[in-house]
Amino acid sequence: MAASTAQRVSSIFRPGLFKNKVAVVTGGGTGIGKAISQELLHLGCKVMIASRNKEVLASTVQQLREQIQPGNTAEIAHIQCNIRKEDEVKNLISGTLAQFGSIDFLINNAGGQYQSPASQINTKGWNAVIETNLTGTFICCREAFNQWMKDHGGAIVNIILVTFRGIPTMSHSGAARAGVDNLTKSLAIEWAQNGVRVNSVAPGRSIYTESAAAIPGYDKVFAEAIPANPAKRLGTVEEISAATCFLLSPAASFISGVTLKVDAAGGLYSTSWDIPHHNKIPAYKWSEESDTENTKSKL
């Protein structure tokens, strides 16, 4: 793509807000991670993006580099990294320090899951999702802390999902993301004395991304999400990026250990899981009568 036709990037935040700051964005080659990287660059940040796919990384870096406007001191680079592999995460952090000299922000966006009823998730699939979404996030946090933030402070934002009502058909990811939610709270306390703030952003399932749209059958998820959301529309990756940049900014200097839900109150409004009528959970009673229908009719 020629520079003259490069996508125009804007932001609600003032230009230069993150000038001379350095960010690591995992999963930065596509979707939400790419949008966050775009906005950070627009705000003057130096950004290291990482993912498993080297070709996608190289293509994204070329595209985003062309979007940097004259006079903006932002820079972008990439390192291939599978966050499930400890050595690769260590290399990501040390490589970023070698290139940019510091790490002010860590955005843990890399993750993955697939739709399946819990009864059909095998152990291999379960472990893969847990290791990516929970363990991988922990390794990234630990390495960023040990290699830099322990002595210099910083801000971490973990991109998770809205989990407080469960995530039917993605119980593996729900369990992992709920684990990250608690990890966020724990690290916010442990690392406060080191000047490190740790927060999470929880997008609802109604956030439209091109990568999700490419998943077979996911168009149905998006279609069902619109009537189930009070905003009656899908969310955008820019809305997740804006929430992330807020938590990284000085405006959030007294905010740590929180999970910011970005779902237009969709999690409060309805559920996407339909439970048909049944009588499989009989009521407990002191009498011998236990017919659920009779009990229900007396309430």
pLDDT digits (tens, 9 = 90+) for 133-155: 999 999 999 999 999 999 999 99
Predicted pLDDT of residue 134: 97
Q: Measured between alpha carbons, how far is residue 147 from residues 91, 99, 252 in Å?
A: 11, 14, 24
**Pairwise CA distance, residues 72 & 20, whole Å:** 10
Predicted pLDDT of residue 272: 67
Question: Which residues have C-beta within 8 Å of that of residue 108, sequence separation ≥ 6?
Answer: 26, 136, 137, 140, 141, 156, 157, 158, 159, 180
Predicted pLDDT of residue 141: 98
3-state class of 255 per DSSP? coil
Predicted pLDDT of residue 2: 38
**Pairwise CA distance, residues 131 & 128, whole Å:** 5
Task: Provide φ and ψ at 3, rounded to 5°.
Answer: -60, -35
3-state class of 203 per DSSP? strand
pTM of the model: 0.90
Yes or no: say if 225 and 272 are a contact pair by the CB < 8 Å rule.
yes
pLDDT in tens, 245-293: 999 999 999 999 999 999 999 888 866 677 888 888 888 889 765 555 5
pLDDT-flagged residues of the chain (< 70): 1-6, 270-272, 288-299
Q: 25: which 2 tokens?
A: 């964005």
Task: Provide φ and ψ at 209, rounded to 5°.
Answer: -135, 150
Yes or no: say if 161 and 173 are a contact pair by the CB < 8 Å rule.
yes
